[in-house]
Structures are given as structure tokens and as C-alpha cells.
Amino acid sequence: MVRYIIRRLLWAALTLIIVSFVTFFIFYVLPPGDPAVLRAGHFPNPQLLVDIRHAYGFDKPFWVQYWLYMRAILLHFNFGYSYQVSQPVKTLIFDRLPATISLTVGAVVIWMSVGMTVGAISAVRRRSLLDRFTIVGSLLAISVPTFWLGLMTLFLFSNDIGEIHIFDGAGTYVGLTANPGRWFGSLLLPWLVLSASLAAFYARLLRSQLIETMSQDYIRTARAKGLSERQVVWRHGVRAAITPIVTALGIDIGFLLGGAVIVETVFNVPGVGYLAYQGIHSADLPIIQGTVQFGAFFIVIANLIVDVSYAFLDPRVRYS
């Protein structure tokens, strides 16, 4: 197990280096253009461009610039300074991280609770009215675009333009430490919107896996031993069918921690995803690079945790 984790950590480090190189190459060599012009702002004079290129090392060869960039990250965890606000990108990301974590954790709790429950019941009661209803409902939830669902919920329930005011703080984010009640109300709609399609996807995924699992010999053996149907389904069936769920969960959590761009932008949640949107909108290259690196880090670590957890969730999996 230890050797496997070490190998995966080395591959994770290599993956992050490749992501950083590709990102750096795209934004500093290919369009949108000269970083010095983006940093200088509108109507820069030639001397200002020369000074900026020298100060930021833009006049050096590409590989030298990349080496300096990676050295700053590895030694000082420094992703550079924002072109627009002249603040460290690291500070901007960590300031936005609590909002993204709050959004991710709440959405995971909702979609896992709903998806696992609905998927298990639908698999056990195949071809019933409930099963058919959940299949149609999950198909609709997966098909609805997230941005459209977010805009519709804002139109109905937000504090300013909403027609129905039942959520305190809907559409206006408030930090947890500032006001826990309004924090919950401000994130309830984003949680529901973000978890709608994912809950439907997880329900369908668990249903298909559990239907196959419940026909296995060890399930019949468990029933023959006198275990209750609840114990058979959750202790033996779900545990054996949960491996694809864990795989998808790790990827989704890593992706959301890197920034749920659409939901954070629609609901004006000041998270990492909204920061990335602002960086793209203003062509702020250090912010774009920093958020991409941050998202890649979470996805790689989440996949590592998922792979290691297989050995504990599924007794058939062993790492040598």
C-alpha cells in the first residue's frame, strides 16, 4: 500500500507539472497576446511596456520564465500578482476558498443523501411506480442546464427580484462566521441547484450497479442466513456496488473545490470559481493560472484518495 501511494504521489506531481506547463504555454506564448500589454492597461506607452517586461521577466526566454514561475510556486507557493488588483493570487484564492468549501460540502451532503436513497429504493423496487417516476425525474434533472435552473430559482426565490420569499438571504452570500442563519439561507438555493443533476446521476448510477449486484450468489447467501432485507441491501449490496459512486464522487468533489464556476457566478457566491470567471473576463492571466493549478491539485488529490479508499470499501481490491 505504501509503495502504491508513493507511486501515485509521483504521478500526481508529474501531472501537476504538465498542467502548469500547458497553462503557462497557452497564456504566455499563444494568444491572447503580450502579457506586458495586459498588465499595462489601456493605451500604454512604449517605455512602460519595456519596464514591465523587465520587471516581470517577460523579456526572458520562455523556458526561463517557466522555471522562475515554477520555482516561485515550489519554494514560496507564490502564483504571482493579479494584473487588476495587484494582490497575490494566493491570497485571493485563499480568501475565496471558504465560500467554495461551504458550497461543495453542502451540495455533496444533499446529492449523496438523495441520490443514494433514491437509487437504492429504485433498484430494489424495479418496475414499480416509484421506480418509473424516479427514472423520469432523474432524466429531467440531468437534462436541465445548471445555469438555466439557477436563473429560474433566482427569479422565483431571490430576495430582490424573487416572487416567493421563503429563503432568508437567497441570492446574497453571507459568511458563516458573520451570520450562520443567513449563511445557510444564502447557500440553500446554490446547494439545491448544484446537487439537482448530480443527485439524479448518482441515483441512476447506483440503481444500475445495484440491480446487477443484487443478482449475485453472495446476496442469496446473505438472505439465506436470515439477514433482513435492509441489511442485505445496505451492508452487502450497496457496499459492493459503491465503487463507481466513489470514483465519480472523488472527481466531482475535486472539480467543485477547484471552483463551481457556473453556480458561483449565477448566485454571486465569492468563491474560487467566481474568481476564475473574473480573471477570464478581465484577461488576468495570473488569476487564471492560479485557479487552474488550484483546481488541478484538488482533482489529482481527490483521485488519489479515491484509489486508496477502494481497498477499504471493496474487500476484492488489494494493492501490492
User: Mean pLDDT across the stretch 28-48?
Assistant: 70
Q: Identify the pLDDT of residue 231.
A: 80
Q: What is the pLDDT of residue 165?
A: 65
Q: CA–CA separation, 54 vs 58, rounded Å?
A: 6
Question: What's residue 225's pLDDT?
Answer: 79
Identify the weakest region by mean pLDDT among 89-93, 238-242, 275-279, 293-297: 238-242
The listed range with the strongest mean pLDDT (45-59, 195-209, 246-260) is 195-209
On the question of pLDDT at 320 being above 60, the answer is: no
Beta strand spans in the chain (E) = none
Angle at 241 between CA 239 and CA 246, to 5 degrees: 85
Task: Give the chain's mean pLDDT.
Answer: 81
The yes-or-no verdict on residue 218 having pLDDT over 70 is yes
Q: What percent of the chain has pLDDT over 90?
A: 3
Mean pLDDT of 92-100: 91
**Chain segment 10-34, per-residue pLDDT in tens:** 888 888 889 888 888 887 776 556 6
Residues 6+ apart with CB under 8 A from 68: 57, 60
Summarize pLDDT for 125-167 with one digit per residue, the tens: 887 887 888 888 888 888 888 888 888 888 877 766 666 666 6
Model confidence pLDDT, tens digit, residues 51-60: 877 777 777 8
Q: Report in angstroms the alpha-carbon separations of 138 from 127, 201, 239.
A: 15, 7, 22
Q: How confident is residue 92, by pLDDT bands cut at 50, 70 and 90?
A: very high
CA angle, 14 as apex, 12 and 16 as ends, to 5°?
70
- CATH 1.10.3720.10 domain residues, the chain: 89-313
pLDDT at 314 over 80: no
Res. 101: pLDDT tops 60 = yes
The percent of residues in the chain predicted with pLDDT above 70, rounded, is 89
CATH number of 89-313: 1.10.3720.10
pLDDT tens by residue, 294-310: 888 888 888 888 877 77
Angle at 118 between CA 113 and CA 122, to 5 degrees: 155
The grid coordinates of residue 193 equal 441547484
| Spatial contact of 79 and 89, defined as CB atoms under 8 Å apart | yes
Instruction: Please check whether residue 23 is in contact with residue 293, taking contact to mean a CB–CB distance below 8 angstroms.
Output: yes
Given a cut of 60, whether residue 319 has pLDDT beyond it is no
Contacts 24+ apart (CB under 8 A), 29-34: 29/62, 32/283, 34/58
Strands of 71-194 (E only): list them: none
Prediction pTM value: 0.80
Compute the residue count for the chain. Answer: 320
Q: Is the pLDDT of residue 220 over 60?
A: yes
Comparing CA positions, the residue from 235, 241, 248 lying closest to residue 215 is 241
Q: How many CB atoms lie within 10 A of CB 120?
A: 20
Q: Describe the crossing of helices 285-313 and 2-28 by its angle, rounded to 10 degrees.
A: 160
pLDDT at 166: 63
Sorted by sequence, the CB contacts under 8 Å of residue 273 that are 6+ apart come out as 100, 258, 259, 260, 261, 262, 263, 264, 265, 291
